[in-house]
């Protein structure tokens, strides 16, 4: 199918970048600007525009309820009389999220009909744009098969703070890596005929106050850092762009003319359409004038209000035409206006599952491996931790994809270990609670599996008696929607009131859903010894209700910990699964593991130092317990095949091929936004990106702060060395060549990385070094390979705020080569000249 969809070639990106640098060589240049704002479209689109009534045009510019929903996030009706089809828009980014009512549901109403791929951060860890393209292809095919036309993905906002709730949904803290991956993924998605939507444009780098925070960023940082990925997405031909919730420089992103018109259209030549994030429109005339094309998911501002604005003359109709033209041009490009529309393929769940597994293995990042802890050898294994037995597939929020199936790590390890190896299990940390002891309640109450018939009301009024003061976590498991859950009052206080706004829907993917699919809510109270009044009222509603009330107490916590320690002692190896359940809509407040998990790791590693901690976390984690462990394997949210992939890496069937795409700080006080609320989360609604162009690893280098694990870090089961570094001029940029040698006795994956130092000729405060290129390489034991990594002309440039354009960073520049941003044993330097002439000398 890929051949049938006209795409803008990736070559275009290359040639533009070179043209920019080449122009810079002659000094004072003005790069060709596309006349993006009011570009004409093809004859078919112009004819349609002439035939559409104002009402019809407006109906194409906002979302509406879907009369035949396929479970997707958004819908835009078509105009049947003119052959304009309706559009269905489904979420990503880790697969296609479609949620059908009346089927098994997750916390956000998901149903198991799609392939849950590993989180994008795990994909990114493979440092492999070709893999990103294939990830996109799986999504593209599946989206088309599931009746969708537009995918609300990929997300390319950079990882700026370790607290941001959506770090798992995006790629990296590094602009270059993000550019490569977003472009390849979009080409993969769109090659299958599904329109991609790069999101969230721009500077939506946190969830805290995301609807209102006003991001202040200087022009150079904007262009050199966050916008790079969006620009690459446009160059790769993305059909749509989704505007962010936040403000940028005082104006909401979805009505920000500088972003939507000056940069996106005039500078980058984007000719697709821009939609809002969900409910992110704030105005009609202002937004349309600024360059917004479509309001989602409804028409509060772009429906009747837009018609009145046009009729009343406060906005010219040509602005409506402009938005419709942009939309129709994309539909035209994808063949969606043809009388015979592109056929929809069948799903290919096997291919999806195979790719899901390949990505999870390729991104698996081994952070530590001492005393030959991994790969696992003979001997019994104790699996510990709640996510050892409950597969942690996806993060929460709109990215949550419920898969066809997912095995637990415990089952996968048992299957891989085979008959001769005993694999035991201990919970260690309780997520879902234990039954309330019968004797604690008077009158007696069956708190497990209480059923309430449809149309009836059930209530309980009694006492809960404690022998001693205790910290009780009440855990409610309940069927049905959040507004139908029982009211539980302890001493008159309601434990699980309905959260306001999006609060009930934007929750974690793991801890809010019990293994049998019931929604889970928790509440912890410090209770005195003695009797406490417990009242519960439950309505059966239309469908009846099933609920359980459980508890986690001091005694159950101690018993779970003791059981884990016993299991750890009895086994030769321990694999401890630790989790952190992130979601859109909320940020973390610490990078420590949640709950009692740090204590669990301490206790288990004290009992058995041959402990591997597997992290199913969203982003960076502090590891005060690191030195006690044998190994640490970072798996993020590994998708539906995550368990088998984890087992394959633990046993050494696959080399851990991933490298960190974000720096892991040592603690909450040692990262780029630590200790300054103006940087994060903002003060009085304003947030300053005061770190400037020093995002991620660049900040650690500039401040000389030692991270826990640097950007690019990741161990292999074999060892590599690099030699013979040389640099030459090539295609407006550089060609960096070197030889990689697998010096160990196993086959394995190396990811050599090239970094570039500042230009002595630019009077700018530049990073100590930036990532300039990388290469993922599978090498057999003993194999040597000569490799050339291209450094794009753009990477040699900085943003000149005087000329509002890129400027080539001339002069002698250092080029480093190594295995992470902090492990750079080889370096050379190269003279970058205005003619782009460059000659390298090693030293
Ligand atoms: C998210 C978007 C998502 C949209 C539709 C919003 O809450 O920010 O990323 O595409 O919902 O579900």
Q: What is the mean pLDDT of the chain?
A: 92
Neighbours of 53 (CB within 10 A): 11
Report how far ligand 1's centroid is from the alpha carbon of 278 (Å). 6
Neighbours of 405 (CB within 10 A): 12
Report how far ligand 1's centroid is from the alpha carbon of 170 (Å). 13
Q: What's the token pair of residue 428?
A: 């260690």
Active-site hit among 277, 430, 655, 805: 277
Can 271 be counted among the known catalytic residues? no
pLDDT tens-place string over residues 729-784: 998 899 999 999 999 999 999 999 999 999 999 999 999 999 999 999 999 999 99
Distances (CA, A) of 509 to 393, 398, 560: 8, 10, 23
Give the Cα separation of 314 and 645 in Å (integer). Answer: 58
If you ran DSSP here, which 8-state letter would residue 342 be given? P
pLDDT for position 842? 36
Give the Cα separation of 696 and 397 in Å (integer). Answer: 25
For ligand 1, mutation pick of 90, 93, 152 (most atoms within 8 Å of CB): 152
Residue appearing with tokens 């074999």: 718
pLDDT above 50: residue 264: yes
Residue appearing with tokens 């403000």: 247
Query: What pairs with residue 536 in β-bridges?
Result: 460, 488
Q: Find the helix or strand (DSSP H, E) in which 351 lies.
A: helix 349-363
Mean predicted confidence (pLDDT) in 274-303:
98
The reply to whether ligand 1 has any atom less than 6 angstroms from the CB of 128 is: no
pLDDT above 70: residue 110: no
Report how far ligand 1's centroid is from the alpha carbon of 690 (Å). 28
Report how far ligand 1's centroid is from the alpha carbon of 796 (Å). 35
pLDDT for position 38? 63
If you ran DSSP here, which 8-state letter would residue 398 be given? G
Q: What's the token pair of residue 576?
A: 């401890």
The reply to whether ligand 1 has any atom less than 6 angstroms from the CB of 91 is: yes
**Domain 40-91+126-333 fold:** TIM Barrel (3.20.20)
pLDDT tens-place string over residues 680-695: 999 999 999 999 999 9
Side-chain half-sphere CA neighbours of 796 within 13 A:
37
Side-chain half-sphere CA neighbours of 348 within 13 A:
14
**Domain 352-431+557-679 fold:** Rossmann fold (3.40.50)
Mean predicted confidence (pLDDT) in 419-428:
96
Strands 611-616 and 450-452, bridge-based pairing: unpaired
Give the Cα separation of 378 and 303 in Å (integer). Answer: 66
Residue appearing with tokens 């782009």: 836
pLDDT tens-place string over residues 217-258: 999 999 999 999 999 999 999 999 999 999 999 999 999 999
Query: What pairs with residue 301 in β-bridges?
Result: none
pLDDT tens-place string over residues 158-214: 999 999 999 999 999 999 999 999 999 999 999 999 999 999 999 999 999 999 999
pLDDT for position 111? 54
Ligand 1 atom with least separation from CA of 204: 8
Mean predicted confidence (pLDDT) in 712-729:
97
The reply to whether ligand 1 has any atom less than 6 angstroms from the CB of 75 is: no
User: pLDDT over 70 for what percent of the chain?
Assistant: 92
**What are the extents of the domains in the chain?**
40-91+126-333, 352-431+557-679, 436-552, 720-842
How open is the CA angle 553-558-562, to the nearest 5 degrees? Answer: 150
Give the Cα separation of 688 and 433 in Å (integer). Answer: 42
Q: Find the helix or strand (DSSP H, E) in which 805 lies.
A: strand 805-808
User: pLDDT over 90 for what percent of the chain?
Assistant: 85
pLDDT for position 843? 33
Mean predicted confidence (pLDDT) in 247-274:
98
Report how far ligand 1's centroid is from the alpha carbon of 506 (Å). 10
The reply to whether ligand 1 has any atom less than 6 angstroms from the CB of 187 is: no
Residue appearing with tokens 């753009």: 794
Report how far ligand 1's centroid is from the alpha carbon of 295 (Å). 13
Q: What's the token pair of residue 756?
A: 């570039």
Report how far ligand 1's centroid is from the alpha carbon of 280 (Å). 10
Q: What's the token pair of residue 615?
A: 């992290």
pLDDT above 50: residue 823: yes
If you ran DSSP here, which 8-state letter would residue 262 be given? I
Beta strands in 28-121 (DSSP E): 74-76, 87-91
pLDDT above 70: residue 320: yes
For ligand 1, mutation pick of 91, 120, 156 (most atoms within 8 Å of CB): 91
CB 152 within 8 A of CB 197: yes
Residue of the CA atom closest to atom 8 of ligand 1: 277
Give the Cα separation of 96 and 161 in Å (integer). Answer: 27
Report how far ligand 1's centroid is from the alpha carbon of 279 (Å). 9
The reply to whether ligand 1 has any atom less than 6 angstroms from the CB of 60 is: no
For ligand 1, mutation pick of 277, 397, 401, 502 (most atoms within 8 Å of CB): 277
The reply to whether ligand 1 has any atom less than 6 angstroms from the CB of 73 is: yes
The reply to whether ligand 1 has any atom less than 6 angstroms from the CB of 210 is: no
Give the Cα separation of 462 and 444 in Å (integer). Answer: 8
pLDDT above 90: residue 624: yes
Of residues 137 and 29, which shows the higher confidence score? 137
CB 331 within 8 A of CB 623: no
pLDDT above 80: residue 840: no
pLDDT above 50: residue 103: no
Picking from 203, 197, 113, 130, the residue whose alpha carbon sits closest to that of residue 166 is 203
pLDDT for position 577? 98
pLDDT band at 101 (very low <50, low <70, confident <90, very high): low
CB 261 within 8 A of CB 243: no
CB 197 within 8 A of CB 242: yes
Q: Find the helix or strand (DSSP H, E) in which 772 lies.
A: strand 770-774
Picking from 208, 531, 146, 534, the residue whose alpha carbon sits closest to that of residue 352 is 146
Cis amide leading into 498 (omega within 30): no
CATH number for region 436-552: 2.60.120.380
pLDDT above 90: residue 649: yes
If you ran DSSP here, which 8-state letter would residue 495 be given? S
For ligand 1, mutation pick of 254, 398, 507 (most atoms within 8 Å of CB): 398
CB 107 within 8 A of CB 157: no
Residue appearing with tokens 């539980």: 488
Q: Cβ contacts of residue 449 below 8 Å, gap of 6+?
A: 546, 548
Q: What's the token pair of residue 451?
A: 């059923």
CA 692 to chain centre: 23
Residue of the CA atom closest to atom 11 of ligand 1: 278
Which stretch of 69-83, 433-447, 617-631, 737-751 has the lowest confidence by average pLDDT?
Answer: 433-447
Ligand 1 atom with least separation from CA of 155: 9
pLDDT for position 835? 63
Residue appearing with tokens 């942690």: 392
The reply to whether ligand 1 has any atom less than 6 angstroms from the CB of 199 is: yes
CATH number for region 720-842: 2.60.40.10
Strands 573-579 and 381-384, bridge-based pairing: parallel
Residue of the CA atom closest to atom 3 of ligand 1: 398
pLDDT above 50: residue 107: no
What SS3 class is residue 554? helix
Q: Cβ contacts of residue 275 below 8 Å, gap of 6+?
A: 197, 240, 241, 242, 243, 292, 293, 294, 295, 296
pLDDT band at 6 (very low <50, low <70, confident <90, very high): very low
Whether 352-431+557-679 and 40-91+126-333 are alike in CATH topology: the answer is: no
Picking from 715, 711, 91, 114, the residue whose alpha carbon sits closest to that of residue 393 is 114
Give the Cα separation of 63 and 298 in Å (integer). Answer: 4
Cis amide leading into 93 (omega within 30): yes
Give the Cα separation of 331 and 251 in Å (integer). Answer: 30
Picking from 358, 356, 338, 349, the residue whose alpha carbon sits closest to that of residue 112 is 349
Picking from 691, 624, 613, 611, the residue whose alpha carbon sits closest to that of residue 664 is 624
Which stretch of 126-135, 280-289, 539-548 has the lowest confidence by average pLDDT?
Answer: 539-548
Give the Cα separation of 201 and 426 in Å (integer). Answer: 44
pLDDT above 50: residue 35: no
Picking from 108, 127, 797, 223, the residue whose alpha carbon sits closest to that of residue 507 is 108
Q: What's the token pair of residue 724?
A: 């013979």
């Amino acid at each position: 199918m890929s051949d049938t969809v006209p795409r803008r070639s990736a070559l275009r990106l290359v040639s533009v970048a070179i043209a920019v640098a080449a122009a810079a060589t002659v000094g004072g240049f003005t790069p060709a600007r596309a006349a993006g704002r009011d570009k004409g479209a093809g004859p078919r689109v112009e004819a349609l525009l002439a035939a559409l009534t104002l009402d019809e045009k407006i109906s194409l510019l906002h979302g509406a309820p879907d009369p035949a929903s396929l479970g997707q996030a958004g819908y835009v009706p078509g105009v049947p009389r003119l052959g304009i089809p309706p559009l269905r828009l489904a979420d990503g980014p880790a697969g296609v999220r479609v949620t059908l009512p009346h089927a098994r549901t997750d916390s956000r109403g998901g149903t198991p009909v799609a392939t849950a791929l590993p989180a994008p951060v795990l994909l990114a860890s493979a440092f492999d744009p070709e893999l990103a393209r294939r990830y996109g292809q799986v999504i593209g095919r599946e989206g088309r098969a599931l009746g969708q036309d537009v995918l609300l993905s990929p997300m390319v906002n950079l990882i700026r703070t370790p607290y941001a709730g959506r770090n798992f949904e995006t790629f990296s803290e590094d602009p270059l890596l993000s550019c490569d991956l977003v472009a390849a993924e979009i080409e993969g998605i769109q090659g299958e005929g599904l329109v991609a939507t790069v999101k969230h444009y721009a500077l939506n780098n946190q969830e805290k106050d995301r609807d209102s925070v006003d991001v202040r960023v200087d022009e150079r940082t904007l262009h050199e850092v966050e916008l790079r990925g969006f620009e690459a997405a446009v160059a790769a031909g993305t059909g749509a762009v989704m505007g962010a919730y936040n403000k940028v420089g005082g104006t909401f992103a979805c009505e920000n003319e500088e972003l939507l018109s000056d940069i996106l259209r005039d500078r980058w030549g984007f000719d697709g359409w821009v939609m809002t994030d969900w409910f992110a429109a704030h105005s009609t005339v202002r937004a349309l004038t600024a360059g917004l094309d479509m309001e989602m998911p409804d028409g509060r501002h772009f429906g009747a209000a837009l018609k009145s604005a046009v009729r009343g003359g406060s906005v010219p109709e040509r602005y409506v035409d402009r938005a419709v033209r942009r939309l129709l041009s994309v539909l035209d490009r994808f063949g969606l206006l043809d009388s015979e529309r592109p056929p929809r393929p069948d799903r290919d769940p096997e291919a999806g599952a195979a790719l899901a597994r390949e990505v999870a293995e390729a991104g698996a990042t081994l952070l530590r491996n001492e005393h030959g802890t991994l790969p696992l050898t003979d001997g019994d294994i104790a699996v510990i931790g709640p996510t050892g037995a409950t597969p942690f597939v996806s993060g929460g929020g709109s990215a949550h994809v419920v898969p066809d199936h997912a095995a637990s790590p415990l089952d996968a390890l048992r299957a891989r270990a085979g008959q001769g190896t005993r694999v035991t299990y201990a919970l260690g940390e309780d997520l879902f609670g234990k039954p309330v002891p019968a004797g604690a309640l008077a009158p007696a109450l069956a708190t497990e599996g209480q059923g309430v018939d449809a149309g009836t009301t059930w209530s309980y009024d009694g006492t809960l008696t404690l022998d001693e003061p205790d910290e009780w976590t009440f855990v409610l498991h309940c069927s049905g929607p959040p507004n139908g859950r029982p009211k539980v009052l302890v001493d008159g206080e309601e434990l699980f009131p309905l959260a306001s706004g999006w609060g009930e829907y934007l929750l974690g993917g793991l801890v809010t859903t019990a293994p049998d699919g019931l929604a889970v809510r928790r509440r912890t109270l410090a209770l005195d010894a003695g009797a406490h009044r417990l009242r519960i009222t439950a309505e059966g509603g239309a469908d009846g209700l099933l609920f359980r009330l459980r508890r986690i107490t001091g005694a159950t916590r101690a018993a779970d910990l003791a059981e884990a320690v016993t299991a750890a002692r009895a086994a030769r190896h321990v694999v401890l699964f630790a989790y952190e359940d992130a979601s859109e809509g909320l940020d973390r407040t610490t990078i420590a593991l949640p709950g009692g998990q740090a204590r669990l790791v301490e206790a288990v590693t004290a009992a058995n130092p041959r402990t591997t901690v597997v992290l199913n976390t969203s982003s960076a984690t502090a590891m005060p317990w690191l030195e006690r462990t044998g190994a640490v394997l970072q798996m993020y949210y590994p998708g539906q095949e995550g368990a088998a992939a984890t087992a394959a890496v633990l046993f050494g069937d696959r080399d851990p091929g991933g490298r960190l795409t974000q720096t892991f700080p040592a603690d909450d006080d040692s990262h780029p936004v630590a200790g300054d609320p103006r940087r994060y989360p903002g003060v009085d609604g304003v947030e300053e990106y005061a770190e400037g162009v020093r995002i991620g690893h660049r900040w650690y280098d500039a401040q000389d702060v030692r991270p826990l694990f640097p950007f690019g870090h990741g161990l292999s089961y074999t060892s590599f060395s690099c030699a013979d570094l040389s640099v030459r001029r090539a295609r407006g940029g550089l060609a960096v060549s070197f030889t990689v040698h697998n010096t160990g006795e196993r086959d394995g994956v190396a990811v050599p990385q090239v970094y570039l130092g500042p230009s002595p000729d630019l009077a700018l405060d530049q990073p100590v070094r930036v990532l300039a290129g990388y290469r993922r390489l599978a090498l057999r034991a003993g194999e040597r390979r000569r490799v050339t990594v291209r450094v794009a002309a753009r990477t040699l440039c900085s943003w000149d705020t005087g000329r509002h354009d890129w400027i080539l960073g001339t002069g002698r520049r250092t080029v480093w080569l190594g295995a992470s941003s902090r492990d750079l044993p080889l370096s050379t330097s190269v003279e970058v000249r205005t003619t782009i002439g460059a000659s390298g000398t090693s030293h």
